[in-house]
Every structure is written in structure tokens, then in C-alpha cells.
Structure 1
Amino acid sequence: MGEVPEPDAAAAAVEQAAAHRRALALNLPRGSLGKLSEVAAWLAAVQGVSPPRPIARPRAIVLAADHGIADAGLYPWPPGATARRLAAVIAGASPLAVLARRAGVGLRLVDIAVGTTVDGAPVGDDAGTGPSDEEDRRIRTGNGRIDQDDALTVAEAERAFVTGRRLADEEIDAGADLLIPGALGVGADTAAAVVVAALRDHEPIDVVDRGDGADDARWMLRTAAIRDALRRTRPFAPDARSVLRVAGGADLAAIAGVLVQAAIRRTPVIIDGPAACAAALAAERLAPGSRAWWLVGSDCPDPAARHAVEALGLSPLVDLKIRVDDATGAFAAAVLVTAAVETAADLDAAAAEAGGAEADVDAADIT
């Protein structure tokens, strides 16, 4: 699979020192830019250069899939809801599409396991900006119902993971310098809850999401479904790949592949939402050290996502309380990542005009 490299700590230290010099030159207090400075230092580390280069081609890879667990009555939406959501994104009529456009993030949609397609919708196409052979990305027609059956077969799980790695390679080879993976589909959050619970040895009550407006009856159904799925998944907990196969599905397995390959290819990633965070938890188990290449976009209210982020030792950049499709909150974070680079560059110029600091600042003194 390849070794995961470490980000350049020396470049991060140089950027931290430069931030302090800017502050001295402009009479600003230490740490006055907060997370913007932290993001600039992170980008310097993953790019291996200070000051960090501007983000030129951010790309989102959104994996669309249905989950059989939705058949247990956990959601108020009728059959075909995933396909309709996908069609809305393709048409530009969804929060995900609007925010991606506003953030300047290229959007690639891949039907990896949608159960019902929409007549006439170019499922998997990303408005003509991506490959035309998306059909071979499709792993199956809907993920299995995980409270009764495995989400994927062994062969399907491997194909999904490899597909994710291949998607990352294609985008990076085409010039992507920031990736945002996400899932779109009814039931992905329940699959994510089971994956996180299995990998972290949590109980269903710890990961079930009550904040989405579910009534008591639907909340109990969801808790029971997670309990039954977790009972089937726990024996596989030591093996993250098997957890993705049994409980995650094609979308989560593919996101894990994207995350691992991006780390191997030294490409920064913003993760956001329950499915991406659960996949990240599994990906870190599969390729330790990958998390150093990831930034968490927003503080998702979903408890499974929060448990995963905590276990990864990461902290969200913003808190927007977004509950729609994965990656939506990450687009807002992408704007801040771009702003962090531009702010550092502009302040460098301002500091130079102000004459700079009187003395160099030793990176070891930065706290």
C-alpha cells in the first residue's frame, strides 16, 4: 500500500516563526490570528514549504450510496431519496452544490452504490470536468442491510477501497492540491455510527444521533438497528478493513481509500461529517500516521463523528452545526484554509513595508 510520510515539521516551525515576526512588525499580540495561523503552519508542513503555497485546485470527491439499513424504517424519506439528492446536486440545487460553487471547490460525484437511479440524470458525472468512465466505479446496487447482513462481500470491499485510492490518484495527477471526500446517501450516518462504535468499543447509545429531529419511535428503531449491526460487527473490531466491509459499505470504504492515498501522495485533506470521520478512523488504523495530513472542517453535531474526531486527536476548524450531506461543512472550512494562506502572504508584505522585526525569532521559542 505504500508508506505514509510525515509532514515537514521544520517547515511548520519556520512558518510559526514567520507568523511571530509578522506580529512583532505589525504590533500585533502573539497568536492574534488564532486558527488561521495554525492552518497556515499545517499547510506549510504538508506542502513542505514556508510560506505555504496558495490552494489552486481544491477538489471534492462525493461518494453516493444507499444503505440497506434504511429499510428498517429509520428515516422519514421514501425510497429513491438518495438518487433524488444526487440529482439535485448534479443540477446545482442543493446546499452541497451551492457551497462547493461558492468555495471554488470542484465537485466530483461518483455513484458507488446507489440503489435507485434517476431517469436521465448523469449519475457519477461531474458536469463534464471529470473522467467519462464513472460506471466502473459502481460497486453494487445499494449496501447490504447491516443489522442482518454484511454491507459488502470481501471482493466488493477491496474494490471499493481500491476505487477510492484510484479516485485520489486521478484528482492529484490532474493537479488537485486539496481533497475533500464525502458521502451522500440515506443511511450513511447509521453505518458510520456502527463503524465508530465497533472501532472504539462504544455502546449504541453513545453513537446514536438524536439531534436530527427523530421522534422517540424512530430514535428507538435507530438504536436497535445500531445494536443489532454492532453485535454482528464487534467480532471484527481488531481489523478496520473488515469493519468497513461488514458495517461501513462501499462509500465509507472508498473514502478510506481516498484518505490513505492522499496521505501517501502528500496531499492535504479536509474531512467533515459522520461518514468521512468514521472512514478516517478506519483509515488511520489501516495506515497509521495518515491523520497528520487531514484537517477536520466543521464540528459535526453527530455523536459518532465527534467520537471519531476525538479518537483521531484532531479539532474542527469551524462549528456550523451542519447536518446535511458529508463535505458540506468542509467547503466553508476550505474558504478559511485559502484565507489562511492569503492572510499570511499579505501580512508578510505589510510586515516588510513596516521594516520587519529587529531580530530573528528562534522557532524553538514559539509556543
Structure 2
Amino acid sequence: MPAADAGAIAVAAARQAQLTKPAGSLGRLEEIALFMAGWSGREIPALDHLQGIVFAGNHGVAAKGVSAYPPEVTVQMVGNFHQGGAAINALARTCGAHLTIVPIDLHRPTQDISGAPAMSEEECLTALNAGAGAVDPRADLLFVGEMGIGNTTPAAALCAQAFGGGGADWAGRGTGLDAPGVARKVAVVDEALALHGADIRDPFDALRRLGGREIAAMAGAIVASRGMRIPVLLDGFIACASIAPIAAAEPDITAHCMAAHCSAEGGHARLLAHLGLAPLLHLAMRLGEGSGAAVAAQLVRSALAAHAEMATFAQAEVAGAL
């Protein structure tokens, strides 16, 4: 897999050292600028083409009462996305992102993971390819989001399989479950792990047995972006869980990723620690859709503006540090 351009990072860091500010005074904005320089291969990176992709899929496990919303909401929200009326539409417009909506076989929910593999090998491969194919190779930065009622349950199962623990360690309230609902979710995750655990041979098998179409598609998009040297803003718990099986086997796979935020879903902070990613924002968000990443994209724009537009000490005729 491609690595960040160390030469571009070094030149960008040298520029940062000459800008009219105390060294390090812009904190993580400086880190973002260097990160973007490394993956763009340019001293002064631009954000001319920001892409957001929302993948949608339906889950058979939703019938187990693991969500506060009925399964038909997935299709209804996809319609809302297309009409421009969802939170992600507003946030994408605000941050200047081109938003792509990719529903995947919404008329065919995956199998209930507590009783069968979520997908066949062919279905999982189709979803992975749908994710990879949705990435625009012209993008300077990508964020991925999802819509799928019940999908925090397979996300919790993927995290447990990848990094250890059980349902109680990874399953949270999702879209607003009450205590009995969380208990049902914990039980379903544990049943899925018991059923599939011994048969999971590799990350692909984890995704097909425990995941979902939109989850596999996000993983496909993230991996494809690495091959294209496109940096990625990871959204919340489910987006990060999509890459968990691969990251457990190949920790470097997220080198081109930044964590947009730490969501209010209980397992997200633990997952980010396993991924070695420090979130840019803590806003208690738990919507999904790529919403947290769209907000964080504005931080990236701010970081690149400061990096590109500030004068150097020499240009401004300002004395540097003693």
C-alpha cells in the first residue's frame, strides 16, 4: 500500500516553521496540514474536491428488536437523502462536499447474524466492490457514512471479533435504545460471536459473517482510497467498525485516515484507541450518515487555509523567535 510522501511532509513542516506564529501554536491544525501534505504529495495541499459517500443497507438482525426504529426507515431515509432533506445533506452543503448516495440491495436485508452469516461470499464481494467503485479518484479528501437500521449491532460484533470482548463491551444505545433493548443487543452480539467465531478465517470472512452490505462497502471505499492516496475522514462508530477486521490484521491500513470525532456510542472511544486514532472533535454526536466527518471537514479547510495563506516571517517583515 502507498505511504505518505515524507518529502512533502518535510517541506510543509519547514513552511510551518516560517509562518508568522509561535511554533505549534495552531495545535492540531498544523498536524492536519502536514497530514494532507503527505497524502497529496504537495507542500501546499488543496481541498478543491471533497467527496462524501453515504452507503445504505438493510439488516435482518433488526427483526430482533436491536434498534429503536423500524427497518423501513432505511429506505425512507435514503429517499430523504436524495431529496436533500437530511442532516448530512445540510452539512455536506456547508462544508462544500459532493455527496454520493449508494443504496445496496435495500429490498434484500442481510441474514440475521445471530443465526446465519450476514452475506454470502459473492454478496460481500459485491458490496466491497460497490464501495471501491464509488470513490472518485479526483478527490482530495473522502468521508464515508452509512444508513442501515440495526447496524450498530453488526458493528459491535465486528469490533468484538477484531479486538476481543463480548457484547457488553461493545454494544451501546445506538439510536436511543432503552435498557431492555441494549440487553437484547448484547445477547444478539454474543450469539453471533458464538456462532461464527471459530469459522472466521480472515477479515473478509468477518465482514461477510458479521457485517452488512453498507459496512462492507465502507471498508471497500477506505481500502480503495489508500490505493489512490486519498486521505479519509472516518465518521462514527459504524464507519470505524467497518475497517476494524482489516485493521486488526494490518494496523497500517488506517495510516491515511483521520478520526473525525468521537461519538456518544459507548464503544467508539475504545475502538479509536485500538485503531490508534485521536478524534478531532468531541461533540456527543451519534447520528451516523457521515455527519461528524462533514463537520470535521471544515477543520481541514481551516487548517489548509492557514497553511497556504499565512505570510512567512520574511514576507511580513516580522522578527522570528529568539
What CA deviation, in whole Å up to 9, does each residue of 1:156-197 have, x standing for no partner?
1112112222222xx11xx22211112111011111110011
> What TM-score, normalized by structure 1, do the two folds share?
0.83
Cα distance, 1:210–1:358 mapped onto 2, change above 3 Å = closer
Which residue of the other structure, out of 104, 119, 123, is the alignment partner of 1:156? Answer: 123
CA-CA distance at 1:8 after TM superposition: 1.3
Match of 1:30 in 2: 23
Distance (whole Å) between structure 2 residues aligned to residue 233 and residue 307 of structure 1: 23
Q: Secondary structure at the match of 1:143?
A: coil
Question: Aligned runs of 1:26-65 on 2, under 5 Å?
Answer: 26=20, 28-51=21-44, 53-65=45-57
Match of 2:8 in 1: 11
Query: Sequence identity, in percent?
Result: 31
Where do 5+ consecutive residues of structure 2 fail to align?
Answer: none
Structure 1 position 355 matched with structure 2 position 322: no
Q: Indicate which of 166, 169, 173 corresponds to 2:133.
A: 166
Instruction: Give the conservation status (yes or no) of the 8 Å contact 2:40–2:229.
Output: yes
Q: Secondary structure at the match of 1:295?
A: strand
Q: Structure 1 residue 9: deviation in Å?
A: 2.1
Cα deviation 1:91-141 (Å, max 9, x = unaligned): 1211111111111111110111323xxxxxxxxxxxxxxxxxxxxxxxxx1
**Shift in Å at residue 228 of structure 1?**
0.9
Secondary structure, aligned partner of 1:298: coil
- Which segment is superposed worse, 266-275 or 300-309? 300-309
Which range is displaced more, 156-165 or 264-273?
156-165
Q: 2:229 aligns with which of 262, 266, 271?
A: 266
Shift of 1:34: 0.7
Q: CA deviation at 1:273?
A: 1.3
| Aligned mates of 1:346, 1:277 — CA distance in 2 | 33
Q: 1:232, 1:161 → 2: CA distance?
A: 23
5+ residue gaps, structure 1, are 116-140, 360-367
2:105 maps to which residue? 113
**Whole-angstrom CA distance in 2 between matches of 1:315 and 1:329:** 14
Structure 2 matches for 1:179-194, cutoff 5 A?
179-194=142-157
Aligned length: 322
Corresponding residue for residue 193 of structure 2: 230
Whether the aligned pair in 2 keeps the contact of 1:192 and 1:304 (CA below 8 Å) is: no
Partner secondary structure for residue 315 of structure 1: coil
Q: TM-score, normalised by structure 2?
A: 0.94
Preserved contact between residue 252 and residue 279 of structure 1 (Cα < 8 Å): yes
1:334 aligns with 2:297: yes
Distance in 2 of aligned mates of 1:106 and 1:195: 29
- On the 8 A contact 2:131/2:221 being kept in 1, the answer is yes
Contact 1:113–1:143 (8 Å) recurs in 2: no
Does the aligned pair in 2 maintain the 1:199–1:238 contact within 8 Å? no
Structure 1 residue 58, shift from structure 2 partner: 0.6
Of 209, 215, 218 in structure 2, the residue corresponding to residue 255 of structure 1 is 218
State the match for 1:144 in structure 2: 111
1:242 & 1:303 partners in 2: Cα distance? Answer: 25
Answer yes or no: is the 8 Å Cα contact 1:21–1:357 preserved in 2.
Answer: no
Give yes or no for contact 2:59–2:151 (8 Å, CA) kept in 1. Answer: yes
Work out which of the residue numbers 58, 64, 75 in structure 2 matches 1:66: 58
Q: How far apart in 1 are the matches of 2:249 and 2:212?
A: 16
1:209-224 matched pairs, under 5 angstroms: 209-210=172-173, 212-224=175-187
Tell me the residue number matched to 1:204: 167
- Secondary structure of the residue aligned to 1:5 is coil
- Counterpart CA distance in 2 for 1:92 and 1:358 is 49
Partner secondary structure for residue 228 of structure 1: helix
Q: Which residue of 2 aligns with 1:80?
A: 72
Q: Paired residue for 1:195, among 158, 161, 166?
A: 158
Contact 1:300 1:321 in 2 (8 A): yes
Q: Which amino acid is 1:48 matched to? A: G
TM alignment of 1:302-313, pairs within 5 A: 302-313=265-276
Instruction: Name the stretch that deviates more: 11-20 or 249-258.
Output: 11-20
